[in-house]
């Protein structure tokens, strides 16, 4: 089989459309369709079924995917070997998906350091409040707030992080007393839009007896800025509070939440030395930055894949 045709096959399988694959490959959809047809003719099998929803893999197509990904990984490995060994700097483009809190308050410092050390490297940070689909190659790596339970993935815990209630002193001065969590129903709450919480680990308010958020957003940054504007009281990341020094923690002894960041990679990339080196620097940098922002002492932790 021709690698160029396999590359097109993978793009269609991931995008589930000719136009989506064409955007990734800088080809027009008609060309993508002809390449798929050529591969199907050579293989003597139908690889996709077209429907109003797009292109879905047939049973034969699904069986081809891991072999095509193995060829992709082998080609990437060959390119890495040619460009240099372990002592050479990282280069090329890496796309990293992350929830917007991590992307806004942690990754800029971490990625700046990595790129300073690797001038030939181009890193794209995709900040979206949802789970990334690595099987469709929306990103090369992704950071999640919970451990995936399915998929051909490798998962590594990066670090725990903490959250507390926070508010602006101006809001607290004019609001009803807030001495215990039982007082929360009397307050204007800032939080997530309930039907846009994409991970159960982000459902901070359930069980606290608080009212539905009077002001809500699917963005951590917007929520923090609402708190900075004196809009109400809400749960804030400790690592974000240094960027909003006017805020104060509220009832820190009564409510202290701990969550974790996970680094998620596609199983087919397990043998990529380039991505492994990037992941190692990323993991160490995120641990260090979270602990610095939270005011904790940094303790190096060996990376462990699971």
Domain harbouring 199, CATH code: 3.40.190.290
CA distances from 224 to 67, 242, 296 (A): 46, 11, 22
Q: Verify that 153 and 287 share a domain, yes or no.
A: yes
Q: Verify that 135 and 260 share a domain, yes or no.
A: yes
Q: Verify that 111 and 209 share a domain, yes or no.
A: yes
Token pair 């940070």 is found at 125
Give the helix, strand, coil percentages of the chain, each rounded to 5: 45, 20, 35
Nearest to 136 by CA among 218, 237, 55: 55
Q: Verify that 59 and 112 share a domain, yes or no.
A: no
DSSP strand pairing (92-98 vs 153-167): unpaired
Nearest to 225 by CA among 169, 234, 206: 234
Tell me which of 54, 83, 112 is where a domain ends.
83
Q: What is the mean pLDDT of each run of 10 residues along the chain (306 residues)?
A: 85 88 90 92 91 89 84 68 61 90 96 95 85 66 87 88 97 96 94 89 83 90 97 97 96 95 83 86 96 74 47
Q: Verify that 268 and 165 share a domain, yes or no.
A: yes
Q: Verify that 190 and 126 share a domain, yes or no.
A: yes
Evaluate the CA torsion angle 151, 155, 161, 167 in order and state its sign: negative
User: What are the φ/ψ torsions at residue 159 (nearest 5 degrees)?
Assistant: -170, 155
**CA–CA distance, 228 with 102 (Å, rounded to integer):** 19
**CA–CA distance, 253 with 105 (Å, rounded to integer):** 24
Q: How far apart, in Å, do the first and last CA atoms of the chain sit?
A: 33
Tell me which of 83, 110, 130 is where a domain ends.
83
The maximal CA–CA distance of the chain, rounded, in angstroms, is: 74
**CA–CA distance, 98 with 143 (Å, rounded to integer):** 5
Total-model pTM = 0.73
Tell me which of 19, 52, 83 is where a domain ends.
83
CB 136 within 8 A of CB 91: no
Q: What is the CATH number of the domain that holds 59?
A: 1.10.10.10
Question: Which range of residues forms the domain containing residue 79?
Answer: 3-83
Strands (E), 185-256: 189-191, 215-216, 233-237, 248-250
Q: Verify that 148 and 194 share a domain, yes or no.
A: yes
Q: Verify that 305 and 197 share a domain, yes or no.
A: yes
The number of folded domains in the chain is 2
Nearest to 149 by CA among 94, 200, 189: 200
Burial group, residue 221, by CB count within 10 angstroms (0-12, 13-18, 19+): middle
Q: Verify that 59 and 186 share a domain, yes or no.
A: no
**CA–CA distance, 129 with 127 (Å, rounded to integer):** 7
pLDDT score, position 181: 94
| Residues near 236 by beta carbon (within 8 Å), at least 6 away in sequence | 163, 164, 165, 166, 223, 224, 227, 244, 247
Q: Verify that 78 and 96 share a domain, yes or no.
A: no
**CA–CA distance, 12 with 31 (Å, rounded to integer):** 12
Q: Verify that 112 and 249 share a domain, yes or no.
A: yes
Q: Verify that 21 and 131 share a domain, yes or no.
A: no
């Amino acid at each position: 089989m021709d690698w160029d045709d396999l590359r097109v096959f993978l793009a269609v399988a991931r995008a589930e459309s000719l136009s989506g694959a064409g955007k990734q490959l800088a080809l027009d959809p008609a060309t993508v369709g002809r390449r798929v047809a050529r591969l199907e003719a050579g293989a003597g099998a139908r690889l996709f079924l077209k429907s109003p929803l797009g292109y879905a893999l047939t049973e034969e197509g699904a069986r081809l995917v891991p072999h095509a990904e193995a060829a992709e990984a082998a080609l990437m490995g060959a390119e890495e070997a040619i460009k240099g060994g372990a002592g050479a700097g990282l280069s090329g483009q890496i796309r990293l998906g992350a929830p917007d809190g991590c992307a806004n308050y942690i990754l800029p410092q971490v990625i700046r350091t990595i790129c300073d050390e690797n001038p030939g490297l181009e890193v794209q940070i995709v900040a979206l409040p949802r789970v990334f689909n690595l099987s469709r190659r929306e990103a090369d790596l992704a950071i999640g707030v919970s451990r995936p339970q399915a998929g051909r993935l490798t998962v590594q815990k990066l670090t725990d992080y903490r959250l507390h209630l926070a508010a602006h002193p101006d809001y607290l001065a004019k609001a009803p007393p807030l001495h215990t969590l039982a007082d929360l129903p009397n307050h204007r709450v800032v939080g997530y839009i309930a039907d846009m919480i994409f991970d159960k680990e982000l459902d901070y308010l359930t069980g606290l007896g608080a009212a539905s958020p009077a002001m809500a957003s699917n963005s951590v940054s917007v929520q923090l800025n609402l708190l900075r504007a004196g809009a109400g009281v809400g749960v804030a990341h400790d690592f974000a509070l240094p960027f909003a020094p006017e805020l104060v923690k509220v009832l820190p002894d009564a409510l202290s939440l701990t969550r974790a960041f996970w680094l998620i990679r596609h199983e087919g990339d397990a043998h990529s030395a380039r991505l492994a080196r990037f992941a190692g620097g990323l993991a160490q940098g995120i641990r260090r930055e979270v602990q610095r922002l939270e005011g904790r002492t940094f303790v190096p932790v060996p990376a462990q894949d699971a």
